Amino acid sequence: MTIVLISAQFRPGLEGRLPAGVEARWYSDGGELLAMVEQADAVWLHQIDGPTAREAVARGTRLKWCNVLSSGVDWLPLDLLCERGITLTNGGGIHAQSVAEFTVMGMLTMAKGWREVVRAQDRHEWLAEPPGKRELLDSQVLVIGAGEIGSRIAEILRAFGAHVTGVRRRPGPGELGAEEWRGVLGRFDWVILIVPSTPDTYRMFGPAEFAAMKPGAALVNFARGTVVDQEALLASIDSGHLGGAFLDVTDPEPLPADHPLWSRENVHISMHLSGRAQDLLFTRGEKRFLANAERFVAGEPLGHVVDPGLGY
């Protein structure tokens, strides 16, 4: 019998649906997870902090498979997973539509001055002129991280008539490589970050990158807060060089109430809500988990496997 530990949050959608030969054991918190993990062959870690995840992997000497719903895996003990040879699968792509919708919403919010429209409604004031007149049509957009989410963002933006250039480690036709984008930042009206959090991407966007951006251009970050040097971001905003920023992620999270980013009129913060802003998140995650559970008990390769050495 294969024993799998699963968060009790998924019990309504999974109970009675697991493949033959799999016994689910449900945990409600980190303490219950740690108490049972030594008997587990696989675990679905959900809403578990980094230290607890590390302890669970360390204790789980039988573990062969670890699953998470998130796309990002920087909170996991990747070194330990790699050392132990535990297969890691994630929710890559499950969040693509929701994050893409949030991205376009953020861009339109800035382009049309929507914050001022909402404030005018709150004041019961009828505006005579639109506060923003920028269009996405014919705008130049750089998507740094053209994976499943970045590709979906690009697909939707092209439907608006935007010209989108993707960046990936192994570029395809019309795309840029991992180092090429820095030399052409001045071409773009919008720069969207959707890269994984790894040592290579830590503060990849700093003073030099902001200085190279087109004056008045906007930064959109749906990667991780650590990808951006926030002091450099503030400096670029305050100097007037950067036209605005839409940040779904910050460093740290939650962002302290007295942090200056909150008070900048052309900075919008969506509190890392984008990936969870969907009705079917659990349904999609459960469907993927069931398919992988079938493969796991059959000894077949799993889908959406993460390379712990690369971090994605």
**What distance in Å separates the CA atoms of residue 149 and residue 151, rounded to the nearest whole number?**
5
pLDDT in tens, 265-285: 999 999 999 999 999 999 999
Q: Which position among 46, 95, 224, 268 bears the catalytic label? A: 224
**pLDDT score of 216 more than 90:** yes
Structure-token pair, residue 263: 């008070």
Q: In terms of CATH, what superfamily is 96-276?
A: NAD(P)-binding Rossmann-like Domain (3.40.50.720)
**What distance in Å separates the CA atoms of residue 303 and residue 289, rounded to the nearest whole number?**
9
**What distance in Å separates the CA atoms of residue 23 and residue 41, rounded to the nearest whole number?**
10
pLDDT of residue 7: 98
Q: In terms of CATH, what superfamily is 2-94+280-306?
A: NAD(P)-binding Rossmann-like Domain (3.40.50.720)
pLDDT in tens, 39-79: 999 999 999 999 999 999 999 999 999 999 999 999 999 99
pLDDT band for position 309 (50/70/90)?
A: confident
Which is it for the CA torsion 233, 235, 237, 242, positive or negative?
Answer: negative
Are 2-94+280-306 and 96-276 the same fold in CATH? Answer: yes
Which is it for the CA torsion 146, 152, 154, 155, positive or negative?
Answer: positive
Q: Is 224 considered catalytic here?
A: yes
Write down the mean pLDDT value for the chain: 97
Say what percent of the chain tops pLDDT 90: 98
Q: Which position among 163, 272, 284, 304 bears the catalytic label? A: 272
Q: Is 158 considered catalytic here?
A: no
pLDDT band for position 179 (50/70/90)?
A: confident
Q: Which range has the worst mean pLDDT, 50-54, 77-81, 259-263, 306-310?
A: 306-310
Segments making up each domain of the chain, as ranges: 2-94+280-306, 96-276
Mean pLDDT of the 185-212 span = 97
Outline where the chain has alpha helix (H): 11-14, 30-36, 50-59, 78-84, 96-111, 114-122, 148-159, 207-212, 230-239, 281-298
Q: Is 268 considered catalytic here?
A: no
Omega of the bond leading into 171 within 30 degrees of 0 (cis): no
pLDDT in tens, 96-143: 999 999 999 999 999 999 999 999 999 999 999 999 999 999 999 999
Q: Which amino acid is at 266?
A: N
Q: Which position among 83, 253, 276, 300 bears the catalytic label? A: 253
pLDDT of residue 105: 98
Mean pLDDT of the 170-190 span = 95
Element (H, E) at 190: strand 190-193
